[in-house]
Amino acid sequence: MKSGKARGDNSAKALVTAEGIGKRFGGVQALTGVSFEIKEGEIYGLIGPNGAGKTTLFNVLTGIYAPDAGTFTFRGRDITGLKTHEIAAAGIARTFQNIRLFANLSALENVMIGRHVRTRAGVLGAVLRDRRTRAEEAAIQARAVELLEYVGIAPRANDAAGSLPYGDQRRLEIARALATDPTLLALDEPAAGMNASETIGLRKLLERVREDGIALLLIEHDMKLVMKVCDRVLVLDYGERIAEGAPSEVQKDAKVIEAYLGTPA
């Protein structure tokens, strides 16, 4: 499934197109007319100061909130206002800023739950355990083990998710999201709380995911990581788009510097 697309390849097809996204919470305008495009197989960064609306953008994209204005198109299909589970079914998987694993279930079970949306067995199948259900169940487990190996936490498969070290929990969340067979993986601050060596490991994992043809949308505060791994970056401030482009360009953008450091006196 390797896409083999070069970084910043302009001919790549658009995977997600967001047009004029707006979201208001009471008196707070969290997002105003945000437009962007994520291309197939790229790593797209989303940065901005605290409170810029990054997580809100994530939440409207993944159907946790409905946007007040604008449209999302995903693989040519309008997905605006779909329910969260429908968006997951369409192929957008996500992780959460404040890890939301099924903490009391084993790591393996967490990933197996991620397979739910791509499998079919119902009550009747569960009760009768016919050959198809058994085969499906075996496939779910095999895929889950494979994904745990992929993110590098297979030895902890039977441990409760909540008992894993922090970095492993982040990895497990990625494995669980990958279990839904996404075309776009949206990660909300995956490096938060990781030490330097864990972050390097994460970067390798993200690059590997991209090599396997899955596009990534990445909210991240670790600028070193963003600059190294992202093909393009969107910068938000006060819910508005202030810059977009290659990390090196964005870094030099006057508006971005102002947003992060304030106006020079």
Partner 1 sequence: MRDLLRRNAAVRWSAVVLIALVLIALPFALSQAGTAWVRITNLAILFTLLALGLNIVVGFAGLLDLGYVAFYAVGAYAYALLASPHFGLHLPFWVILPIGAAVAALFGVLLGAPTLKLRGDYLAIVTLGFGEIVRIFLNNLSRPVNITNGPQGISQIDPFSIAGVSFAKTDTVMGAMVSGPMKYYWFLLALLVVVIAINLRLQNSRIGRAWEAVREDETAARAMGIDTTKIKLLAFAMGASFGGVAGGLFAAIQGFISPESFVLVESIMVVAMVVLGGMGNIWGVILGALLLSFVPEILRYTVEPLQKAAFGRMIVEPEVLRMLIFGFALVLVMLFRPAGLLPSAVRRRELAARGEGELAERKA
Q: Tell me the β-bridge partners of 37.
A: 17
CB of 15 to partner 1, least distance (A): 18
Residues near partner 1, by CB under 8 A: 62, 64, 83-85, 88-89, 93-94, 96, 100-105, 109, 112-123, 125-127, 129, 133, 136-137, 140, 160, 162-163, 176-177, 179-180
> What tokens were used for 100?
């939301």
Q: Are 51 and 230 in contact (CB under 8 A)?
A: no
Q: Are 104 and 160 in contact (CB under 8 A)?
A: yes
Q: Tell me the β-bridge partners of 106.
A: 160
For 49-67, b where at least 16 C-beta lie within 10 A, e where not — what string? Answer: beebbbbbbbbbbbbebeb
Break the chain down into helix, strand, coil percent, rounded to 5. Answer: 40, 25, 35
Q: Is 6 or 142 the residue whose CB approaches partner 1 more closely?
A: 142
Q: What is the DSSP pairing of strand 232-237 with strand 240-245?
A: antiparallel
Q: Is 2 or 120 the residue whose CB approaches partner 1 more closely?
A: 120
CB of 125 to partner 1, least distance (A): 7
Which stretches within 47-195 are classed as H helix?
54-61, 84-90, 107-114, 123-128, 131-151, 166-178
CB of 94 to partner 1, least distance (A): 6
Q: Is 30 or 121 the residue whose CB approaches partner 1 more closely?
A: 121
CB of 97 to partner 1, least distance (A): 12
CB of 109 to partner 1, least distance (A): 6
- Quick count: other Cβ atoms within 10 Å of Cβ 201? 16
Q: Is 125 or 213 the residue whose CB approaches partner 1 more closely?
A: 125
CB of 168 to partner 1, least distance (A): 16
Q: Is 93 or 256 the residue whose CB approaches partner 1 more closely?
A: 93
Q: Are 226 and 47 in contact (CB under 8 A)?
A: yes
> What distance in Å separates the CA atoms of residue 35 and residue 13, rounded to the nearest whole number?
16
CB of 24 to partner 1, least distance (A): 21
Count helices and strands (H / E) in the chain.
Answer: 10, 10
Q: Is 151 or 243 the residue whose CB approaches partner 1 more closely?
A: 151
Q: Is 33 or 165 the residue whose CB approaches partner 1 more closely?
A: 165
